Amino acid sequence: MRNQSRVAFYLLLMPLVLWLGLLIIIPHIDMLLISLRERVSFGVYDRSLAQYEKALTEPLYLRTFARTAVMSVLATAITLLIAFPVAYYIAKMARGRLQQVLFLLCLIPFYVSELVRTFGWMILLRETGIVSNLLQWAGLADQPVEMLYTDATMMVGLVYTSMLFMVVPLVTTLESLDDSVIEAGYDLGGSGLSVLREIIIPHAMPGIVSGCIVVFMLSLGNYLTPTMLGGKDSLWFTEMIYNQFIVRSNWELGAAFGFMLLVLSSVIVWGMLRLTGRTLKETMG
């Protein structure tokens, strides 16, 4: 029996090890090694930090890196601000059928490809688009208005794309908050604001943290939205990775960029977990 169970254990361990080893761990080590080399001549490479030096001294690269990070944080904050009242409404104000329907409605856009969602925003906001026509019809503009290719449009798209990943964890945590606790807060003389600050938000913290982590990751790693909705100035870091790999075939620099993105996202996720004293296992699992 013991022997049989050992065999079963190794049989179950094997797919996991193969999957993580061959598709996650070794490829990332290989990517790190490639980013740490420099082409000397045809087929000859030297170990060097040249790629990172280039990435950290070239103003365009550095600015894009910082911009992507800041804009992603901003997108996360906006998503949280917009989603929280809605999640609270679904969890605490709506009842019965309405609650279920509203929750399902939030899920629908997620089942539609990101490409389709982005395409929808393009139809709405382009120069010949719906919003531009609407503005002209209402007399608010006397010529077609181009609303695509700006940072604001890109932000609308980013927030839209990741909204669901904020609403769902928030609804789940807020639902577990007992109404009587909120009533008690009011009974003890709390105002709406102090109940929100001292009861609701602390209770919703796990949901806020996991929502923020996922939304931040999705924004940082997004390629479609910045490419399709953002302007010439709103270059995203993922676009630079793509350019180095596919357009310029400069894999060494591209790999270095990839690693920088990975480190940035890990540091921020780790920082968020650290600030709130939670673990990755609790948040994602």
Partner 1 sequence: MIPTIPQSRTVRIVYGGYVALFFLYLALPLTVVAVFAFNDSQFPSLPWEGFTWNWFFGDTRPQIGVFHERGILGAVGTSAFVAACVAVLSVAVGTTNAFLFNRYDFRGKGLLYVLMLLPLVIPGIVLGISILVFSSTLANGIWDLAQMDIQALRPGLLLVILGQFSFITTIATLVISARLQKFDRTLEEAALNLGADRLTAVRTITLPFLAPAMIGAVVVAFLMSFENFNTTLMLVGSDAPLTIAMFDRLKEGSTPLLNAVSLLLMLGSSLLALMMILFQRRS
Q: What is the DSSP secondary-structure string of 72-92?
A: HHHHHHHHHHHHHHHHHIIII
CB under 8 A: which stretch of 46-54, 55-63, 147-155, 248-256 binds partner 1?
A: 248-256
Between residue 142 and residue 181, which ones bind partner 1 under the rule CB under 8 A?
160, 163, 179
Q: Report if residue 282 touches partner 1, rule: CB under 8 A.
A: no
Among candidate residues 217, 196, 231, 242, the one with its CA nearest the CA of residue 85: 196
Residue 199 and residue 273 in contact, taking contact as beta carbons nearer than 8 Å = no
CB of 197 to partner 1, least distance (A): 13
Q: How far is the CB of 60 from partner 1 (least distance, A)?
A: 19
**CA nearest neighbour of 175 among 91, 85, 87, 80:** 91
Q: Is 107 in the site for partner 1 (CB under 8 A)?
A: yes
For residues 109-128, which are near partner 1 according to CB under 8 A?
109, 111-117, 119-124, 126, 128
Give the one residue of 59, 96, 189, 285 binding partner 1; rule: CB under 8 A. 285
By beta-carbon proximity to partner 1, the closer residue of 208 and 259 is 259
Closer to partner 1 at the Cβ: 48 or 227? 227
Smallest distance from the beta carbon of 180 to partner 1, in angstroms?
A: 9
Q: 185 and 199 in contact (C-beta within 8 Å)?
A: yes
Residue 201 binding partner 1, by CB under 8 A = no
Tokens read off for 89: 């409404």
Which neighbouring-strand residues pair with 47? 37
Among residue numbers 214 through 243, which ones bind partner 1 (CB under 8 A)?
Answer: 217, 220-224, 228, 238, 241-242
Helix (H) / strand (E) element for 166: namely helix 151-175
State in angstroms the smallest separation of the CB of 126 from partner 1: 7
CB 280 within 8 A of CB 217: no
CB of 148 to partner 1, least distance (A): 12
Q: Which of 48, 133, 250, 276 binds partner 1 (CB under 8 A)?
A: 133
Pick 106 or 208: Cβ nearer partner 1? 106
Decide: is 8 part of the binding site for partner 1 (CB under 8 A). Answer: yes
Report the SS3 class of residue 178.
Answer: coil
Q: Who contacts 206 (Cβ-Cβ below 8 Å, separation ≥6)?
A: 169, 173, 278, 282, 283
> Residues 20, 62, 66, 201: which binds partner 1 (CB under 8 A)?
20
Position 204 contacts partner 1 (CB under 8 A): no
Whose CA is closest to 195, among 204, 182, 208? 182
CB 224 within 8 A of CB 115: yes
